[in-house]
Amino acid sequence: MSTATAKTLDTIARIRREVCALHAELTRYGLVVWTAGNVSARVPGRDLMVIKPSGVSYEDLTPEQMVVTDLYGVAVDGDADGEWGNPPLSPSSDTAAHAYVYRHMPDVGGVVHTHSTYATAWAARGESIPCVLTMMGDEFGGSIPVGPFALIGDDSIGQGIVETLKNSTSPAVLMQNHGPFTIGKDARSAVKAAVMCEEVARTVHISRQLGEPITIDQGHIDSLYARYQNVYGQ
């Protein structure tokens, strides 16, 4: 086996394990029910992505079931370097949306979609979540925007995600009447954004039940975002 073959196959196997494991984070944080939602990752340096199979229960997901597709959502089972053993399963019904994001946002390495309750409730109203929490400044650099209503099945959802996020600091968009989609430099970052999106959607919802939350000055938001994105952590 050539070095290129071994490297490609090892990379695909690693990403399959990572994407499968990240789906467990969606159920762990209560972001999905039944088979709703999905996680994908870009294969670095290749026009390929890895995404969950459509309609498979979370508890049944295995790395081997993760589907490799091109960036138009077509399943690809190998290349000149050899086969990586795609399962006989259809990729997620949101594959076209994920693929569109990867084609049009080259810095994005991971995409997540959930129907998390509070964020989806904001999406049902077509209302962006105002930046009234320092943790929103940290993670989103401002409000969490709403994207247009779009039917599943073609590039419409992907177009709405890209049009909304391409000039935004937010890694999350609330697709109207549907739910949140998040992006990140990698799939784990996109999952984190989904977790944080639901957390702030819940907190701001509760706050608004008791009064009008106080928005944060944009200069302070920018300062919070710069610190968190560049200094926070190890």
Ligand X SMILES: O=C(CO)[C@@H](O)[C@H](O)COP(=O)(O)O
Contact 175, 163 (CB under 8 A): no
Of 22-30, 50-58, 132-140, 203-211: span binding ligand X (CB under 6 A)? 50-58
Of 19-27, 29-37, 79-87, 159-167: span binding ligand X (CB under 6 A)? 29-37
Of 49-57, 60-68, 74-82, 208-216: span binding ligand X (CB under 6 A)? 49-57
Radius of gyration in angstroms for the set of CA atoms belonging to the chain, rounded to a whole number: 18
* Single residue of 26, 37, 109, 146 touching ligand X by CB under 6 A: 37
Among the listed residues 175, 52, 39, 177, the one whose alpha carbon sits nearest the alpha carbon of residue 108: 39
Smallest gap from residue 127 Cβ to ligand X (A): 19
How many Cβ atoms sit within 10 Å of the Cβ of residue 14? Answer: 14
Smallest gap from residue 228 Cβ to ligand X (A): 29
Q: Which is nearer to ligand X, 155 or 222 (CB)?
A: 155
Would you name the residues annotated as active-site residues? 113, 115, 138, 178, 232
* Single residue of 86, 92, 176, 182 touching ligand X by CB under 6 A: 92
Tell me: does residue 94 bind ligand X (CB under 6 A): yes
List, as one string, the DSSP characters of 86-127. Answer: --SSPBPTTHHHHHHHHHH-TT--EEEE---HHHHHHHHHT-
Q: Which is nearer to ligand X, 44 or 153 (CB)?
A: 153
Contact 169, 141 (CB under 8 A): yes
Tell me: does residue 69 bind ligand X (CB under 6 A): no
- The CA distances from residue 163 to 158, 173, 175, in Å, are 9, 10, 11
Tell me: does residue 35 bind ligand X (CB under 6 A): yes
Contact 116, 194 (CB under 8 A): yes
Q: Which is nearer to ligand X, 38 or 128 (CB)?
A: 38
- In the complex, which residues of this chain contact ligand X (CB under 6 A)? 35-38, 52, 54-55, 92-94, 113, 152
